[in-house]
Amino acid sequence: MSFRLMRERLNLALYNSKEKVLKITRLISFGVSLVALFSLIYYYGFPQTTQSKVWAFNILQGSFLVYIVQYSIRLIYDFHPWQFLKKNRFEGMMVVLLTVEGISYHLTGVLRLQSLFVKIGLENFSGFSSLFIQFYFIVMIAVSAVRKGTGIPNFRLHPASMFILSFLLLIFIGTGLLMLPQMTHNGIRFIDAIFTSTSATCVTGLMVENTSEFTFRGQVVILMLIKLGGLNIIAFGSFLALAGRIGLGVRHHEVIEDFVHKDSFISAKGMLGRIIIWSVVIELAGALFIYFSWLGEVPFRNTGDKVFSSVFHAVSAFNSAGISTFDNGLTEPFLQQHYTLHIIVGVLVFLGALGFNPIFDIFGMSRIKERLRHRWKQITFGSKIALYFSFIFVAVG
């Protein structure tokens, strides 16, 4: 019997139970994710005892096992497994990573990813790898649950209302996280926490507390607020630009589906997926340039501190947040004459302000190849306007 025939018979045998089993696994995974996420918030936000650390680690292990099982069930129940693997390759890589980590820990008592971070001098990042994986899976499961309809009510909101509510939700979550005991050295008042969270989310660059008042964990929260807040503004602005360009009102759900792409939350085929990928690539490239540009007199405690500061400034610059890990920003005495850093930050600010439609048009590989094949083709009129006026404003300013 061929593999294809075996697969078809298996599909027929599983067909009747598919929807029910997948719905149950989504609900279980979502519930487990919430428990694990709250346990991680407690772990990173409050002082810990040896016993509480063990409990948090066990919950984390259990949640990762649930993700592996859920992914395996989805793969078995999918009628086209190879297409499933291609479509969910990033999630698949996460599952493979979790599997290898689990086997490694039970055989050797060591988590390979965390030990790798420690070996290359990034001790601060070793614990946050688990937090990133946990956050990724809960987002993917939440999106899947909403799309597949698992009893979660469907709310139809005007895009403007969705935009405002998403910012309010992000601000209040950020406020709560910043008020946790382990996020600051000496504690923070509610009014200062909500101001800091609002400033970071809305990328205004205003701070009532020096960034050094926050611990590394608190600075990570501020960094994530800048990234998510800046992404929200950019994504929504690009969506409005797209809707305006094709002459449709924002009520047309087809445009929204094209923007976020109904098949994959982070698919490169959708506008939102492209924005996320391009923004991350530009920020990582900027962080790399900043890392190798730091002068020797900059007082970094270790390699991890240097890497984090590079990433923080790259994200802050590209999203025009104006927040620095240094109390006096780029006016610190050891940075005042650091012109290479100033230029890199300036370029990141310029690219962030230019907008993604011009960036896609100017730097997109498909557009570049198209212009090389057809010499008469140029960047669009809208890109020219954005580019020329940006240069004019910089020159005049």
78 neighbors 85 (Cβ within 8 angstroms): no
Q: Tens of pLDDT along 214-240?
A: 988 899 899 989 988 887 766 665 555
For the cut 70, the answer to whether the pLDDT of residue 140 exceeds it is no
Q: H or E stretch including 341?
A: helix 339-354
Distance from CA of residue 183 to its chain's centroid? Answer: 20
Q: Tens of pLDDT along 296-337?
A: 888 888 888 888 899 999 999 998 888 898 988 888 888 888
Of the candidates 268, 290, 292, which has an alpha carbon nearest to the alpha carbon of residue 279? 268
For the cut 50, the answer to whether the pLDDT of residue 253 exceeds it is no
Give the Cβ contact number of residue 193 at 10 Å. 23
For the cut 70, the answer to whether the pLDDT of residue 257 exceeds it is no
User: What's residue 6's pLDDT?
Assistant: 67
Q: Which of 133-142, 224-233, 358-367 has the lowest mean pLDDT?
A: 133-142
Amino acid at 323: I
For the cut 50, the answer to whether the pLDDT of residue 176 exceeds it is yes
Give the Cβ contact number of residue 217 at 10 Å. 19
Amino acid at 224: M
For the cut 70, the answer to whether the pLDDT of residue 145 exceeds it is no
Name the residue with higher pLDDT: 152 or 103. 103
Q: Give CA separation, 256 vs 227, 236, 270, 394, in Å.
A: 22, 10, 10, 34
Mean pLDDT score of the chain:
78
- What are the φ and ψ backbone dihedral angles of 167, each rounded to 5 degrees? -70, -45
How buried is residue 284: exposed, middle or buried, by Cβ count under 10 Å (0-12/13-18/19+)?
A: middle
Mean pLDDT of 197-216: 87
For the cut 60, the answer to whether the pLDDT of residue 72 exceeds it is yes
Residue 203 backbone zone (phi > 0: left; psi -120 to 50: alpha; other: beta):
left
Q: With bands split at pLDDT 50, 70 and 90, how would you rate the model's confidence at 247?
A: very low
**Token pair recorded at residue 218:** 């608190």
User: What's residue 367's pLDDT?
Assistant: 80
Name the residue with higher pLDDT: 205 or 119. 205
CA dihedral sign, ordered 270, 271, 273, 278: positive
- What are the φ and ψ backbone dihedral angles of 297, each rounded to 5 degrees? -80, -5
212 neighbors 302 (Cβ within 8 angstroms): no
